């Protein structure tokens, strides 16, 4: 495979795991290949500038074309959004080293670390990690990472984060969500977090960031974050208690908005409303109204690499537009209207974070099949009070740190039938408060 095709497949994400590991090692050993990748990334950024300049009819100089970079690929890079994705993919390959960057303080579920040609499944808590890529696999996975200066990064759900730190902290969140408590950074060297659609510049603050399929959602709790939309280079400052969405569609308005207060009551009706595509499940329109049917997802990976699959439906309020925060209290009651092909046990999980953005713990309630009493049409009305939820993690120190979900923001309500596909179907969800 020639170098042009190799890098094209790296940036497009079409390499196999074995090929990806081999490319990582080549980039570490081959300065010429790293330089070639740097040229492509630089040209991608320059061509993004050209696309933006053409919108304002301002003449610009053409960038120098790398001698080994094919002209037909240049045509494919003319859209700013595509260029942003390519630049994001290339960013952290440049200049990484073996220096230890951060510590995996705590984790749950499956955590995979990729550094150069090394890939490890189930990294141990307390390990110090060099620059690379960390993945949390499965809906219930999480990881808390700490830099030497005390800055804490928390990943939840299915997330992928590349990181390095030389002159400054550089992070790329390719998918998923993170929360951060950032210590004051050195003058002129802010922490940078990039997604496929945006770039955030942080001097010292507390915030949440989600990389969604078509945009990036930023919510700032404390401090100030500068958010740049990569599609057109527009930047705004997002102050405390505000949020903003940076889309691949540059025609959409980029403005900060005051973050609404968390709600303790909320309802989502699948019979009348189509959910966001990123929610777990398959939405189906029927003559009787919409339905959300459980879909398979990766619950975890074994140390041998085998995938454990469950079937479920998730409610992720942070992916609504505008975003929504739900806080659970001791008096909360969670309701579902659901049906299955045959009665079977279920599990309802609450994946939470603290109001300040830190990890709040994952909690579960196991529902026996005898609790489900279907009517003549097979539908069940399920009600679960908050006091039935227990920590998923069995480790004593984690249970002591996160004993209850009360007071936390719920990132996801995940209802599943475990490994069995029971045709689990949900008509509506409701969070309410007991009188």
Q: What is the pTM of this model?
A: 0.74
pLDDT recorded at residue 99: 84
pLDDT recorded at residue 40: 58
Q: What average pLDDT does the segment 143-147 reach?
A: 94
Residue 141 has pLDDT above 70, yes or no: yes
pLDDT recorded at residue 278: 83
Q: Domain segments of the chain: what residues?
A: 3-91, 100-258, 266-433
Q: What average pLDDT does the segment 102-119 reach?
A: 85
Residue 31 has pLDDT above 70, yes or no: no
Higher pLDDT, 301 or 329: 329
Residue 289 has pLDDT above 60, yes or no: yes
Query: CA-to-CA distance for 231 and 214, rounded, in angstroms?
Result: 11
Among the ranges given (49-63, 123-137, 167-181, 251-265), the one the predictor scored with the smallest mean pLDDT: 49-63
- Write the DSSP string, 8-29: HHHHHT---HHHHHHHHHHHHH
Among the ranges given (64-68, 256-260, 412-416), the one the predictor scored with the smallest mean pLDDT: 64-68
Query: CA-to-CA distance for 413 and 105, rounded, in angstroms?
Result: 25
Could you tell me which residues come within 8 angstroms of residue 315 by beta carbon, excluding any fewer than 6 positions away?
Answer: 268, 279, 412, 413, 414, 429
pLDDT recorded at residue 228: 96
Higher pLDDT, 68 or 161: 161
- Give Cα 35 distance to the centre of its chain: 30
> Per residue in 395-416, pLDDT tens?
888 899 899 999 999 989 999 9
> Per residue in 303-343, pLDDT tens?
676 788 999 999 998 778 777 889 999 999 999 999 999 88
Query: CA-to-CA distance for 10 and 16, rounded, in angstroms?
Result: 10
- CA triple 120-125-131, angle to 5 deg: 55
Domain 100-258 has CATH 2.60.120.1440: yes
pLDDT recorded at residue 194: 95
What's the longest Cα–Cα distance across the chain? 72
pLDDT recorded at residue 5: 65
The percentage of the chain sitting over the pLDDT mark of 70, rounded to a whole number, equals 78
Same CATH fold assignment for domains 100-258 and 266-433: yes
> Per residue in 216-230, pLDDT tens?
999 998 999 999 999
> Any idea which fold 266-433 has?
Jelly Rolls (2.60.120)
């Amino acid at each position: 495979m020639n170098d042009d095709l190799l890098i094209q497949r790296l940036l497009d994400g079409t390499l196999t795991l074995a090929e990806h590991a081999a490319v990582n090692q080549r980039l570490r050993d081959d300065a010429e290949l790293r330089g070639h990748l740097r040229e492509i990334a630089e040209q991608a950024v320059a061509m993004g500038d050209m696309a933006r300049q053409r919108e304002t009819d301002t003449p610009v100089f053409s960038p120098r074309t790398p001698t080994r970079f094919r002209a037909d690929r240049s045509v494919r890079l003319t859209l700013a959004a595509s260029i942003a994705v390519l630049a994001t993919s290339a960013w952290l390959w440049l200049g990484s080293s073996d220096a230890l960057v951060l510590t995996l303080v705590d984790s749950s579920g499956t955590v995979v670390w990729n550094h150069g040609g090394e890939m490890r499944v189930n990294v141990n808590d307390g390990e110090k990690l060099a620059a690379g890529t960390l993945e949390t696999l499965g809906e219930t996975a999480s990881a808390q990472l700490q830099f030497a200066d005390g800055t804490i990064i928390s990943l939840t759900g299915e997330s992928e984060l590349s990181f390095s730190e030389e002159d400054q902290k550089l992070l790329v969140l390719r998918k998923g969500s993170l929360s951060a408590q950032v210590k004051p950074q050195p003058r002129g060297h802010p922490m940078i977090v990039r997604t496929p659609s945006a770039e955030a510049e942080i001097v010292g603050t507390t915030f949440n960031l989600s990389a969604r399929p078509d945009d990036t959602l930023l919510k700032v709790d404390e401090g100030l974050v500068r958010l740049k939309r990569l599609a057109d280079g527009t930047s705004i400052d997002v102050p405390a208690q505000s949020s903003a969405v940076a889309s691949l569609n540059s025609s959409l308005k980029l403005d900060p908005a005051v973050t609404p207060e968390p709600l303790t009551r909320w309802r989502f009706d699948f019979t009348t409303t189509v959910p966001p595509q990123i929610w777990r499940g398959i939405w189906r329109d029927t003559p009787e109204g919409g339905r959300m049917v459980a879909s398979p997802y990766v619950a975890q990976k074994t140390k041998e690499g085998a995938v454990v699959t469950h079937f479920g439906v998730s409610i992720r309020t942070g992916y609504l537009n505008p975003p929504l925060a739900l806080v659970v209290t001791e008096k909360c009651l969670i309701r579902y209207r659901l049906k299955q092909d045959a009665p079977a046990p279920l599990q309802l999980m609450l994946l939470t974070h603290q109001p300040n953005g830190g990890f709040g713990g994952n909690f579960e309630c196991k529902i026996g099949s005898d609790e489900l009493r279907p009517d003549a049409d097979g539908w069940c009305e399920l009600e679960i009070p908050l006091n039935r939820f227990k920590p998923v993690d069995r480790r004593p120190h984690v249970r002591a740190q996160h004993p209850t979900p009360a007071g936390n923001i719920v990132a996801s309500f995940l209802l599943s039938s475990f490994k069995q596909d029971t045709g689990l179907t949900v008509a509506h969800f409701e969070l309410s408060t007991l009188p």
